[in-house]
């Protein structure tokens, strides 16, 4: 068997991610897909898909499954032993990052996806400075593919991300929501609709969104064509729609932040864009706590937190 920790994916050259390694360790402990998945706050089916993908990447069966039981294979036992060592090293890196005092050892690194807190930035920044007047906030750009891992791996201290439910290793503080819209070409028959349904978009060609997170892909819906280029930034979605003639979904606020004369933003049924402050689970540094408190205060002050 190839060294599972170092092996690239045999189905596309991608390297396994830390989250999936944690899934495999949990499954080795529980020997039950449902229980293991619940420990990571995801459904059993996507949990199992992650494990199967990892088995393909390392080129070995790590678990034997029957309708009644799950058993770890000898290869799986060796692999899990290696993974425990790797995860211990990763967690040690996280701990070192958590010990870095932002007030005296550098700015608080704030990762932002898309329009982030929208027009609430002034209030959010002010609420942070009310608690820690000397704090310095440093902007870092996130993208659709790495928004969660960048926070989870400690590359930023807090992130303004799209909240699509619980994600392993992260905690969330909601800030605002923006109603769901379909982004369609201005020449489309749907461009002048007052409102669309999921059925109206069912047979459309979709823009591919760059993310391996099942919850985010489920939020987007639709099915991009195989091999379609993937969009990594929310700001690029309207341009991708205009160029390709395909469709996608966004938050209604995109019409203000990313307007184009050749696309339309049409209200569509489905879940809104939920924006939240994300932090690593258990991160209780004072500046991180202050940012979370500021997010909660801004949401309370703006009522529903609705951004249109």
Q: How far is CA 14 from CA 11, 48, 211, 229, in A?
A: 8, 18, 13, 16
Is 126:113 a contact under the CB 8 Å cutoff?
Answer: no
Torsion of CA 235, 238, 239, 240, to 10 degrees: 100
Which H helix or E strand runs over 172?
Answer: strand 170-178
Residue 233: is its pLDDT beyond 80? yes
pLDDT of residue 86: 84
pLDDT of residue 308: 57
**Predicted structure pTM score:** 0.67
Mean per-residue pLDDT for 275-294?
Answer: 94
Token pair listed for 28: 């080795």
Least confident window among 93-97, 241-245, 262-266: 93-97
Mean per-residue pLDDT for 214-220?
Answer: 87
Token pair listed for 207: 């823009």
155 vs 168, more confident: 155
State the chain's mean pLDDT as an integer.
86
Residue 224: is its pLDDT beyond 70? no
pLDDT of residue 214: 83
> Which alpha helices (DSSP H) does 10-43 contain, by range?
18-30, 33-39
Residue 18: is its pLDDT beyond 70? yes
8 vs 30, more confident: 30
- For the chain, how far is it from start to end, CA to CA, in angstroms? 53
Tens of pLDDT, residues 246-273: 999 999 999 999 999 999 999 999 999 9
Residue 104's Cβ-side half-sphere holds a number of Cα atoms within 13 Å equal to 2
Pairing of strands 137-141, 108-112: parallel
Closest listed residue to residue 175, CA positions, set 110, 99, 230: 110
- Quick one: DSSP state of residue 17? P
Torsion of CA 201, 185, 112, 177, to 10 degrees: -50
* Residue in the block written with tokens 């990892």: 54
């Amino acid at each position: 068997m190839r060294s599972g920790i170092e092996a690239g994916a045999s189905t596309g050259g991608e390297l396994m991610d830390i989250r999936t390694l944690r899934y495999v360790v949990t499954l080795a402990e529980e020997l039950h897909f449902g229980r293991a998945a619940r420990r990571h706050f995801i459904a059993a089916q996507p949990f199992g898909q992650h494990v199967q993908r990892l088995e393909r990447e390392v080129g070995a069966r790590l678990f034997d499954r029957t309708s009644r039981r799950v058993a770890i294979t000898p290869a799986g036992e060796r692999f899990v032993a290696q993974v425990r060592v790797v995860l211990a090293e990763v967690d040690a890196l996280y701990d070192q990052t958590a010990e870095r005092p932002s007030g005296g050892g550098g700015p608080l690194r704030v990762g932002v996806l898309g329009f982030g807190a929208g027009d609430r930035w002034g209030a959010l920044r002010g609420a942070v400075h009310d608690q820690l007047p000397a704090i310095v906030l440093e902007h870092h750009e996130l993208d659709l593919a790495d928004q969660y891992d960048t926070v989870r791996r400690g590359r930023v201290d807090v992130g303004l991300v799209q909240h699509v439910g619980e994600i392993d290793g992260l905690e969330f503080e909601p800030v605002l929501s923006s109603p769901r819209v379909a982004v369609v070409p201005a020449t489309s028959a749907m461009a002048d609709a007052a409102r669309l349904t999921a059925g109206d978009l069912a047979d459309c060609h979709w823009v591919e969104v760059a993310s391996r997170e099942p919850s985010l892909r489920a939020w987007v819906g639709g099915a991009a064509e195989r091999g379609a280029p993937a969009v990594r930034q929310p700001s690029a979605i309207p341009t991708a729609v205009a160029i390709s003639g395909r469709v996608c979904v966004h938050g209604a606020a995109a019409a203000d932040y990313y307007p184009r004369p050749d696309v339309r933003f049409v209200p569509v049924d489905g879940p809104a864009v939920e924006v939240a402050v994300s932090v690593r689970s258990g991160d209780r540094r004072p500046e991180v706590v202050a940012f979370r408190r500021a997010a909660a205060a801004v949401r309370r002050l703006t009522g529903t937190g609705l951004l249109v």
